Structure formats: structure tokens, C-alpha cells
């Protein structure tokens, strides 16, 4: 099985979330999610 195509999906309503759709040569499609969160600086929080 080999990866054939990667797609990123981003919605303005969820601006800190990015989806990744992975297509394979055998027809499987996977979906991953990542998100960005700003952390406050300084000290151990």
C-alpha cells in the first residue's frame, strides 16, 4: 500500500483546526486532525 494523494482541509469557522485526508493506491482513505493552540509564555503552567 502506498500513499497516492494528500489533501488539506481547512474551514474558516474552525480556523485553528486543520484536517489531512490521505488517499492510498488500494482505495483506503484516512483522516487526521491537528489543531493549533497558543500557550501563554513564562513559568510552568
Q: For 5-45, what is each residue's pLDDT tens digit? A: 999 998 888 888 899 999 999 999 999 998 887 776 665 65
In a domain, 28, yes or no: yes
Q: Where are the beta strands (DSSP E) in 1-45?
A: 3-10, 17-24, 29-35
In a domain, 42, yes or no: no
Distance CA 41, CA 39 (A): 6
Q: What is the pLDDT of residue 11?
A: 87
Q: In 3-state terms, what secondary structure has residue 39?
A: coil
How many structural domains is the chain composed of? 1
In a domain, 15, yes or no: yes
Q: What is the pLDDT of residue 41?
A: 65
Q: Domain of 21?
A: 3-35
Cell 474552525 -> residue: 14
Q: What is the pLDDT of residue 28?
A: 97
Q: What is the DSSP letter of 30?
A: E
pTM above 0.75, yes or no: no
Q: What is the pLDDT of residue 44?
A: 60
In a domain, 18, yes or no: yes
In a domain, 43, yes or no: no
In a domain, 44, yes or no: no
Amino acid at each position: 500500500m502506498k500513499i497516492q494523494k494528500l489533501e488539506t482541509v481547512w474551514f474558516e469557522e474552525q480556523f485553528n483546526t486543520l484536517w489531512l485526508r490521505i488517499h492510498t493506491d488500494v482505495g483506503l482513505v484516512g483522516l487526521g486532525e491537528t489543531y493549533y493552540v497558543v500557550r501563554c509564555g513564562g513559568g510552568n503552567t
